[in-house]
Structure 1
Amino acid sequence: MLRDIIDIILVSAENSFLQVGVFVGAVLLLFGYIDYKKSGEFVRKIEESKKWQPVLGAALGLTPGCGGAIFVMPLFVKGKVSFGTVVATLIATMGDSAFVIISTLPFHYILVSIFSFIAAIITGYIVDYYKIGDKLLLRMKKLPEGEIEKIHEKADHITQNYECKNMKECKIDLISHIGHGEGDEIDIALHHKAKGHQDYNSIGYKITHKGYGVYWIVITLGLILGIALLFQVDVNGLFIPNLGTIIGIGGTFFSIFLMIMGKKFIQDETHEEAELKIMSLKETLIHSAQETAFVSTWVYVAYLIYEIGVFSLGGGNYAAGEVIMTDVMTSAGFTAVLVGALIGLIPGCGPQVIFVTLFTKGTIPFAALLANAISQDGDALFPLLAIDKRSSLWASIITTIPAIVLGIIIYYLELNFNFF
Structure 2
Amino acid sequence: MNELLEVLLVSLRDGYVQVSAFVAVTVLAFGLLQYATDGAVIGAIEGNERLQVLFGGLLGLTPGCGGAIVVMPLYVRGTVSFGTVVATLGATAGDSAFVILALAPEAALYAYAIAFAASVATGYLVDEVGLGVSRVDAAVAQLSPAATPDGGTVVNGGVGPNPTHDYGGPAPTHAHETGPDRHSRVLTPLSHLAHVLWWGAAISGLIFGSLYLLRGGPEVALALGLSFDGLFTVVGIVGAVLSLYLYAVGRHYVGEGEIARARDSFGSVYDTLTHAAMETSFVTVWVLVAFLVYEYFVLFSGANIATLAAAAGVLAPIGGAVVGLIPGCGPQILLASVYAEGGLPFSALSANAIAQDGDALFPLLAVDARAAIVATIYNFLPAVVVGVALHFLWGPVFGMAEFGFGVL
TM bracket, shorter-chain basis = 0.5 to 0.7
Matched, 1:158 2:175: yes
Instruction: Give, in whole Å, the separation in 2 of the partners of 1:42 and 1:399.
Output: 25
Matched, 1:142 2:149: no
Deviation track 1:218-273 (CA, whole Å, cap 9, x = no partner) reads: 444565566777589xxxxxxxx734343211112112312322448xxxx9432x
Amino acid of the structure 1 residue aligned with 2:260: H
**Distance 1:109-1:280 versus aligned 2 partners, 3 A rule:** farther
Deviation track 1:113-150 (CA, whole Å, cap 9, x = no partner) reads: 311210122212222332459962359983899xx99x
Aligned partner of 1:238 in structure 2 is: none
Deviation track 1:345-373 (CA, whole Å, cap 9, x = no partner) reads: 45x53xx3332244225455543343333
Alignment of 1:4-403 (within 5 A): 29-30=28-29, 32-34=31-33, 36-37=35-36, 40-63=39-62, 64=64, 65=66, 66-74=68-76, 77=78, 81-95=80-94, 97-98=96-97, 107-131=106-130, 136-137=152-153, 142=163, 155=172, 157-158=174-175, 160-163=177-180, 209-221=192-204, 230=214, 242-263=226-247, 270-272=259-261, 274-275=262-263, 278=266, 280-289=268-277, 291=280, 294=284, 298=288, 301=291, 330-331=310-311, 334-335=314-315, 337-346=317-326, 349=328, 352-361=329-338, 362=341, 364-378=344-358, 380-381=360-361, 391-403=371-383
Output the aligned Cα RMSD. 5.3
**Distance 1:86-1:358 versus aligned 2 partners, 3 A rule:** closer
Amino acid of the structure 2 residue aligned with 1:68: V
TM-score with structure 1 length normalisation? Answer: 0.60
Amino acid of the structure 2 residue aligned with 1:113: Y
Deviation track 1:363-388 (CA, whole Å, cap 9, x = no partner) reads: 55543343333223345556666776
Structure 2: runs of 5+ lacking an equivalent: 135-151, 217-224, 249-257
**Distance 1:287-1:357 versus aligned 2 partners, 3 A rule:** farther
Instruction: Give, in whole Å, the separation in 2 of the partners of 1:368 and 1:162.
Output: 46
Say whether the 8 Å CA contact 2:354–2:380 is kept in structure 1.
yes
TM-score with structure 2 length normalisation? Answer: 0.61
Alpha-carbon offset, residue 301 of structure 1? 4.7
Say whether the 8 Å CA contact 1:277–1:287 is kept in structure 2.
no
Say whether the 8 Å CA contact 1:35–1:68 is kept in structure 2.
no
Look at both structures and tell me which one has the larger radius of gyration over its CA atoms. Answer: 1
SS in structure 1 of the partner of residue 242 of structure 2? helix
Alpha-carbon offset, residue 398 of structure 1? 1.6
Structure with greater proportional helix content? 1
Instruction: Give, in whole Å, the separation in 1 of the partners of 2:73 and 2:170.
Output: 24
Identity %: 31
What number of residue pairs does the alignment pair up?
350
Amino acid of the structure 1 residue aligned with 2:175: I
